[in-house]
Structure 1
Amino acid sequence: MDTQPATLRERKQQRTREAIVAAAFELFEERGFDRVTVTDIAERAEVGRATFFRYFGDKQEVVFGDDNELDQAVREAAGHLTGTPIGDSLPAALALVRRIVVAFIERLVEQPTAYLHHERLVAKHPELLARSLTKQRRYATELTKLLTTAGATPDTALLAAELALACYYAGRATVGDDPARVPGAVDEAFERLHPTS
């Protein structure tokens, strides 16, 4: 896939976004999520409140700033859809979502410390956990749509997407959410559903 290099403006926006996220997680670690305000985050990131709100709707949204990662993984997978339509073949549907989910998890754990901070923060706050579960339901919906685009029947697409989410949960739980082992554990959960060998 041919991608254009980021413009100066896009690079500056990315740096600003990263500064806001880094500042927020530093403050959450130091003070606790409930004791940090948007103003605190903006001041630590050396941006104005208006700039903060250009990137995030609230401080919860900062915690889930990786939403675009799934969208990117799905777009990349959609760009490689070729061959025979999936139809009602659950193994074919699972093979496709397996590639997407494992690649997505590998991206999530690229920065193990940040990943662990995120997971601890979400686990400690019911409102963040609820938002995380809502986000994961969106993932299942996006995977279902992708599979349908790939020619899967609606029931096959839905079942494969739900099984993918189950593999994600089981893999994480199996290894105690250890970032070094999560991708392999999720992949192994898929393998147990339908061995490739």
Structure 2
Amino acid sequence: MAEPGLRERKKQRTREAISNAAFALFEESGFDGVSVADIAAAAEVSKPTLFAYFPTKEDLVLHRFSDREGGPAEVVRGRAPGASPLAALRRRFLDGLDRREILTGLNDTPQALVFHNLLYSTPSLAARLTAHMLRAEAALAETLAEADADADDDGVSARVAAAQIFGTQRVLADRNADDMRAGRSADDVHPEAVARAETAFDLLEHGLAARFGKAVR
């Protein structure tokens, strides 16, 4: 892959400077206590320049979702020959834990803690995040339907599977983030996070009946 040119590197540095300035201000004053003008001034750019990189204030936080490479639909499409969609998604989540990716919740850097605190405390961010996740879930469902060409249920099974996968990853990430906010280190939590992920993906792979299909007496 060719290295980005000077223009692209300059744009990336500007984008990072804006994002870093925003997070520093959000950490100090909260999301609602910071204006776009404040962020532009801190990043030493104009408001039009800021909006060219981040169309809304919420995007300054949520670009960590929207900029993510290898989202679930892409993971399924790019899986190795012979690998199942679920196996590819399991491997991708476990790799994310190993790399301490912010979206797995297993990241104890100051910026990651600010990121998760903002998501959990700001209604406008939660609403935008929900919309983004629903779009990503729909894309995964479409990709799963393509992988299950013999299905004849109008994609219902693929949509149910996508919802379960997204729900599983959200629960795992939330638990990891809770541990980080409680002051635990990512390195200490990592073995537990891996075990939880393996258990959760086993449930997805083998179904709920073995754990939750028994009649209540």
TM-score w.r.t. the length of structure 2 is 0.72
Equivalent residues of 1:98, 1:190 under 8 A apart: yes
Task: List alignment gaps of at least 5 residues for structure 1.
Answer: 85-91
Q: Which residue of 1 aligns with 2:199?
A: 188
Equivalent residues of 1:69, 1:104 under 8 A apart: no
Q: Which residue of 1 aligns with 2:18?
A: 20
Pick one of 93, 102, 118 that aligns with 1:121. Answer: 118
With over 3 angstroms needed to count, the CA separation of the structure-2 counterparts of 1:78 and 1:110, relative to structure 1, is farther
| Farther off after superposition, 185-194 or 172-181 | 172-181
Does 2:101 match 1:107?
Answer: yes
Q: Which residue of 2 aligns with 1:82?
A: 81
Q: Distance in 2 between matches of 1:81 and 1:141?
A: 22
Residue 142 (structure 1) shift: 2.0
With over 3 angstroms needed to count, the CA separation of the structure-2 counterparts of 1:120 and 1:13, relative to structure 1, is same
How many percent of aligned residue pairs carry the same amino acid? 33
Residue 57 (structure 1) shift: 0.9
With over 3 angstroms needed to count, the CA separation of the structure-2 counterparts of 1:20 and 1:111, relative to structure 1, is farther
Counterpart residue identity of residue 189, structure 1: A
| Farther off after superposition, 166-175 or 102-111 | 102-111
Q: Distance in 1 between matches of 2:5 and 2:146?
A: 32
Name the larger-Rg structure.
2
Counterpart residue identity of residue 165, structure 2: A
Q: Distance in 1 between matches of 2:164 and 2:110?
A: 28
Task: List alignment gaps of at least 5 residues for structure 2.
Answer: 181-185, 207-217
Counterpart residue identity of residue 136, structure 1: M
The total of aligned residue pairs comes to: 186
Superposed CA RMSD: 2.7
Over 6 Å off, 4+ runs:
none
Residue 27 (structure 1) shift: 0.5
With over 3 angstroms needed to count, the CA separation of the structure-2 counterparts of 1:103 and 1:64, relative to structure 1, is farther
